[in-house]
Structures are given as C-alpha cells and as structure tokens.
Structure 1
Amino acid sequence: MNRVILAINAGSSSIKFQAFATEGVVGAGDNLERRVSGLLEGIGSQPRLLIKDGAGATLRNDNLSQAAAPSVEAGEGIVGDWLQSDDAARLIGGPIGAIGHRVVHGGADFSAAAQIDDAVLARITALTHLAPLHQPKNLAPILAWRQRRPDLPQIACFDTAFHRGHAEVAERFAIPEALYLEGVRRYGFHGISYEFIAEKLTEVAPAIARGRVIVAHLGNGCSLCAMQDGRSVDSTMSFTALDGIPMGTRPGAIDPGVVLYLMREKGMDAAALEKFLYHQCGLKGMSGISNDVRVLEASTEPQARLALDHFVYRIAKEIGALAAVLQGIDALVFTAGIGENGADLRARIVAASSWLGLSLDADANAARRTDLSKSATGPRVLMIPTDEELMIARHTRRVLAL
C-alpha cells in the first residue's frame, strides 16, 4: 500500500517540507518518491511560500504579508493548512501517514531517531535551553500536528545523533567530571545533513566514501565535520550551535573571556548575551551590513570584504585542524546554501587549504559539477547538494518499518 511520509524541517525563520510516497524510487535503495516540496521563508520579515511538484515544476510562489507569518508558529499554520487541503492530497496521492521532524538538539539521550510520545516530547522540550534559537521552532510543528492528528505517528530526527559516536577524548571539555555527567559536552550539529552526504558519497564517490573526508556545511548556520569510514569523528560545533566557524549571525568559537567582559563591562545578563551571540555577531555583526554572503560579495565596503576574508580564514584554519584529527584528507565536500552556490568562496577556501594537496578546477567550479578537483590525483574537492528532508523521510520509514 502506498503510504505518504511528510518531512518537516523548521528553522529559525523558515519551514521546509517535502512529501514522499513509499512507492517509486528517488535514489539507490530508497523506494521513496518525492511528490511535493515546499519552503516558507522570510518568516517575520518578507514571507514567501514556494511549492513545487515532484518534477520540480512551481505550483505556488506567493509573497505574503509580514502580518500573515510573523513567527514560525504562525507560518506552521499556513503550511499545515495547505498540507491538509484537497490540492495537497491530490498531489501527494493520499493522506499523510507519518511525519518526520528535524530536531536540532537530542542531548545525551538520543543517538538515533525516535517516535514521539509524551515522554520523548518532554525530553526534547527539556533540551530547549541548549538550542534556544532552534528547538522551539522544531517543536512548533510537532505540537501543531499532535493537535490536528493525534493518531498520526511522528518521528524526531536529531541533528546531534550522527555525532554521538565520537571518542570521549573528542567529546570532552577540560572541565570537572560532574559537569560532563550533567551533559556538558561536545555534541555537534547538522548531523542530518552530514549523514545524507555520507550515504550519498557511496553513490557518487565510492572510492573515497570510506576514507578521510571533511564536509563543509555552509549556510546561514555553518560547521565542518570530519568523517572516517562514513562516520563522524569530530565537528566544529560542540555544546551548542554557537561554536566553531563564523556563521550568518553567530560568531563561532570565541574566547569565554569575551563573554565575561560583556557581563562585567557592558552589563549584559544571560538574555542579552543570548540575543547578542545568536543574532548580532557573525558575518552580520562583523560587516555591519548583512548576514547574506551575496550581499557582502556585491558590496564595496571594506568591512564586507573583511567579514568574508575572516570567514575564509577561519574555515581554512578548522579544515587544517580536522585534517590533523584524521591524519590526512582524501576529500573536501562542500554542501548547503553557501557551499552549493558560492563558487568564489569555494575557490578561496580551497586555495587557502592548498597545502593539503587540494586544488580546484575553475570551469568545474563555475559549472557546479560534483567533482571540482583540478588534479587527477590527490585529495578530491566535491560539491554535493544536501537533502535533509529525504534523510528525515528515510529515518521515519526505518523507525516505523513502512
């Protein structure tokens, strides 16, 4: 029987969704057919609802008023209403049979996707303080669908789960044992994306899929992951999604003494620090212009150039650190919004990492090919679009044995 799996990826200002039928094929071993994909972006500022059918044809491309979608919670209502409409039912070929959700933080509790019941929901909610920018947004569609369809199975797919096999020496901070036992440790994020790339590598580059691979997930949120034999070994993000390389509005790694300085000299309390670190730093804070790489690349302002230079510098620095962890590198993979579309930044990052043997073919890079490598030998440079929604659907199907 054909079953429909809905995958929901709710972010801080957007909601992505895709519906898959459990018949047909979208990739090796999937037996999943993409019927609908959608995106509600610009929530709280300039909302836009984009819906496409399984073939990629645009069905809706609607600009909404800010009042219509002032928050992710309100935006979820717009998406939910459409998904329950007759139009959606015709496109996806039947009623929704299960929903998989991206949940950013699984803490120490969850090392794999889990079906959501009252106990699991309580544990996810209790982790909100570890991901205050994302966890409430992830919870919004879960709670809404529990009200709409209390009988509908829902699966939580955790961004932290892919990293839960890290060695203790990589997972630890140099802090007292009691805090580690409370859960203060390095978790890593973007795991759903990294797991998709790990599986995709077995198709597009089987010779290196089990080798030493660094994946650069570069979007508004950014991180790097070192993988060996298809598993996460280390990641630049840690206890929260603030650590690591600079991001759109987050600073990445920062001396804790800066936080103490802001408390003592600027009078910031926890709430003010949280707002500052999550919303006022990164490319936006450094440039004073925007968190959008495209805007910064088009700008002639010196601070825009400095922000991008710093972005490249920090990424190259962390690539070197992860290469040391892996004792070498067989491939560097770019993915996510900037990683997939930012040809100039890809070129600059590879040039800054050329000491590792990485080189880039300019024509392949401009054409957005999968293999961007200039040399026929040595470490490869790849660009692989991520598909978190497909990965969520896969996990949902596995948990429910659909």
Structure 2
Amino acid sequence: MPASDMVLVLNAGSSSIKFGLFAAAEPVLLCKGLLDEHEDKPRLVVKSPAGEELFDKRRESPDADGDHLFADVLGFIEDRFGAGSLRAVGHRIVHGGRDYSGPVVLTDEVTAKLEALTPLAPLHQPRCLAPVRTIKAIRPALTQIACFDTAFHRSLAPPANRFAIPRRFEERGIRRYGFHGLSFEYVAGRLAEIAPESAAKRTVIAHLGNGASLCGLRNGRSVDTTMGLTPLDGLVMGTRSGTIDPGLLLYLQQHEGMSIENVQHLLYHQSGLLGVSGISADMRTLLASSETAAREAVELFVLRAAQQIAMMATTIDGLDCLVFTGGIGEHAGEIRGAIGERLAWLGVRIDVTANEEARERINGGDSAVEVFVIPTNEELTIARHCAAVLRQDHRS
C-alpha cells in the first residue's frame, strides 16, 4: 500500500458529522473537522491535529443539502494533498446485525442489508448510511468501508446475549448485540498500553455521553454490555430512557392512546436527562442549574450508572478496574465522583484532587479498584480497521 494513501473517516451524529483524514499505512491523523448540516448556513470546518484552523466554509443557502458539504470535503483533500491521494472512506455504522462481525467493503448488496437493520436503530442507522450514498454519487469508484459498533460485542455468549422470550425469536436474530463497540475497542487497547497489568483484569468501561453504555471485559474481550437489541437499553442517556419496564410501553399504547410512532419518539427524543429534568439533555447545563428537577435528573443518571456497573461486575465475577470515557465520562468530574461514592461498597475510592484534574489514573491509594479516565477515539479505531482492509486487498 503506497505511503501516500489516505483514509477519510466519517462519524455521523444526529446533526453533524465528525471526520478525520488519516495517512493509512500506519494511521496518523493529518487533519480533522466537522460537517454541520443543521446550522442556518451549513458549515464545514477543518483543523490541524493541533487545532489550527485550515479551512472554514459556509453554504449560503439555508436549505442546502449535505451533498455540497461532502463535495467540499473531497475538494479540500484534493487541493491540499493532491488528486488521487484518497484511497478510501471509512464509516461508523451503528448496527451490523448477525451478518457482520468485522469491517467490510460497502457494496450495493452490503448497503442494502444494513438499511434493512434500520428498525433496530432508527435514530442512528439512516444517519450512518446517508453519507455512503452521497459519496457513492459523487465518487462512485472510491472504496467505502463499514466499521460496526456492534462488532466488538460479538464475543458475548449465552446467557448474557439472550432475552427471556420464546427461543424462536432468538433464531431470527433477536438477541443482545451491544453498541459503542468502536469506543470500547479503542479504550481497551489504550488501557493495555498505559497499564498492561490491568488489561487482563475484570474491567468495566463506562462510555458516558449523550449516548451512554457500559461494557464488562475479561482479558480485554466484551463479556457483557448494557445496550441490547437496540441503542435504547441500559443507562439513562441525554434523550433516551435506557432500561424501562416493558409494561409501561404497553400502558402508554393501551391507556394513553399513544401510537407506536409516538412511543418511539418519546423513548428516543423526549426521555432521559431531558425528560426527567424538563430543562436540557446536556449534563453541563444540568450540573450548572439550581433547579430541583435538574438535580433529580443527575441523581437518576448516577444511580443507574452505579447500579449497572455493579451488574457488569456480577457478570465478570468482580471488579478490578473501572474506566470512564465519553463526553461526560471524560469531562464531568462531579459525575465520576458521585458514581464512585455509590460504588464504595465495591472498594472504589476516587482521589478528589486527581479526579478534579481529570488525571489518567484517579483512584485513591486505598482503592481496591483501579480507576482511569481515558479519552476515546472512535475515528482512529475506524482508520485502523480501514488500513487493515486495504492491506488485505493490496495483498490479494
């Protein structure tokens, strides 16, 4: 694989797309940026790895579609690095279903199979796949590669991956898949680098952000996770409910007269921190608020996180190491401290000063559990997977 080959990594969110451009041979970040499609004037910003602004462009039309933004990204790459320098585009795809346990080149057939999984991730799957179609229309010969949030959890086995429903549904693929796998994969690898003696221990990684989930690991492999068939399960999230009594959903339909569409909208967009607080889905806003409802939403978030960390510890037969990552996990020391206090009975002791400074290791000297703060990097994980696919293609 020539040293000049580059990989563009796209990580689609609900209203914007983060991206990184990597030298593919040994993935090294060359520049990063954001495509914001939902400002009044859609915007593309590109920065150096150090944060220096390299390119900033706004589309004048407020109803300009995202196709123009992708054309701008590809144009920037060609102008700065030369035509033909881009070898592939890597995409974070939330759901890989039963068929995909590792990165795969996105053919029309593969894309169609992934689109069929939309009911399992209605908020995420269409957003992940939209750039695939757009780039195919702009650069049909450009290789595109899917990397899956579910793939890291393919090591889940019964009973952890099983629902207590009739077995015929499991035979149709109704099982617990888990998500945030690209983040968990990166953090597990980074933990092995900074604390090799901890990598084989009983570990829980807490990816806490607008979307939030836990992963219980043994020997660096996923053994259990809090999200299930869909990204709705598990922890309290920004606007998603997390674990909920299924009887409540029946009640909403049967006695509140809510349609399936309305219930889906409620669970994905109106619940979680936003629903409980009635103020915001942003943890920063809630922590800064003096409103009782804001405090109650934060307390519920902390309680559920601590409860489910203990649940993960049950699956992995104890807890030796706890890692915080994600937007809240990396930046909200108050939340890390509160979760640690609720887990004191498990031997967790968080050092106040280390936590306030968000050091890499924040456990106190008397802690029976090692506690780390490790920033995640999903884009680098995707770039590594794409480089491996390209090397394999080059050999064949």
Alpha carbons 1:21, 1:92 under 8 Å: kept: no
The AA in structure 1 aligned to 2:231 is A
Gaps of 5+ in 2: none
Give the structure 2 partner of residue 34 of structure 1. Answer: 29
How much does 1:337 deviate? Answer: 0.6
Identity %: 47
The 8 Å contact of residues 35 and 92 in structure 1, kept in 2 or not, is answered as no
The answer as to 2:236 corresponding to 1:241 is no
Equivalent of 2:23 in 15, 21, 24: 21
Amino acid at match of 2:31: V
2:101 match: secondary structure: coil
Instruction: Give the equivalent residue in structure 2 for 1:6.
Output: 8
How far apart, in 1, do the equivalents of 2:290 and 2:327 lie? 23
Q: Distance in 1 between matches of 2:222 and 2:61?
A: 40
Aligned to 2:70: 80
For residue 46 of structure 2, the aligned residue among 51, 55, 60 is 51
**Alpha-carbon distance change, 234 to 47 in structure 1, aligned in 2, over 3 angstroms:** farther
Show CA shifts across 1:54-90 (max 9, x none). 3332335678789356xxxx34x343122222x4335
1:68 and 1:53 map into 2 onto residues whose CA distance is 29
Separation in 2 of the partners of 1:207 and 1:162? 21
1:322-333 to 2 correspondence within 5 Å?
322-333=312-323
Task: Compute the displacement of 1:35 (Å).
Answer: 0.7
Say if 2:349 and 2:367, in contact at 8 Å, map to a contact too. no
Q: Is the 8 A contact 2:27 2:387 kept in 1?
A: no
TM-score (norm 2): 0.93
Residue aligning to 1:89: 78
Aligned to 2:99: 109
Aligned partners of 1:233, 1:47: CA distance in 2, in Å? 41
Pick one of 358, 363, 378 that aligns with 2:348.
358
Q: Distance in 2 between matches of 1:241 and 1:306?
A: 23
| TM-score where L is the length of structure 1 | 0.92
SS at match of 1:102: strand
What's the CA shift for 1:41?
A: 4.6
Q: How many Å separate the matches in 2 of 1:303 and 1:337? A: 22
1:260-279 aligned at under 5 Å gives the runs: 260-279=250-269
Confirm or deny that 1:222 pairs with 2:224. no
Structure 1 vs Structure 2 CA RMSD: 1.9
Counterpart of 1:359, as a letter, is R
Checking the alignment, whether the CA contact within 8 Å between 1:107 and 1:160 is kept in structure 2 is: yes
Q: Answer whether contact 1:19 1:36 (CA < 8 A) is retained.
A: yes
Change (3 A) 1:138 1:372: same
Work out the number of aligned pairs and report it.
389
Change (3 A) 1:65 1:300: farther
Relative distance call for 1:293 and 1:66 in structure 2 (3 A) is: farther
Aligned to 2:151: 161
- Please show how residues 126-145 of structure 1 align to structure 2 within 5 Å: 126-145=116-135
1:22 is displaced (CA, Å) by: 2.7
- Displacement, 1:11? 1.6
Residue type of the partner of 1:215?
I
User: 1:216 is matched by which residue type in structure 2?
Assistant: A
In the alignment, structure 1 residue 213 sits paired with structure 2 residue 203:
yes
CA distance, structure 1, for counterparts of residue 200 and residue 44 of structure 2? 39
Distance (whole Å) between structure 2 residues aligned to residue 172 and residue 46 of structure 1 = 46
Give, in whole Å, the separation in 1 of the partners of 2:53 and 2:69.
16
2:159 aligned with 1:175, yes or no?
no
Say if 2:24 and 2:383, in contact at 8 Å, map to a contact too.
no
- Measured in 2, the distance between the counterparts of 1:66 and 1:339 equals 37
Q: What displacement does 1:358 show? A: 1.2
Amino acid at match of 1:268: M
What SS does the aligned partner of 1:192 have?
A: helix
Q: Which runs of 5+ in 1 are unaligned?
A: 24-30
Equivalent residue for 1:27? Answer: none
Letter in 2 for 1:328: G
State whether residues 42 and 62 of structure 2, in contact with CA within 8 Å, keep that contact through their aligned partners in structure 1.
no
Alignment of 1:270-349 (within 5 A): 270-349=260-339
Equivalent position amino acid for 2:62 in 1 = A
Query: What residue is the counterpart of 2:194 in the other structure?
Result: 204
Q: Deviations over 1:82-111 (max 9, x none)?
A: 2222x4335456631101100001111111
* Offset at residue 276 of structure 1 (A): 0.8
CA contact (8 A) 2:153 2:179 kept: yes
Taking the aligned partners of 1:377 and 1:326, their CA distance within structure 2 comes to 19
* Distance in 2, Cα, partners of 1:63 & 1:283: 32
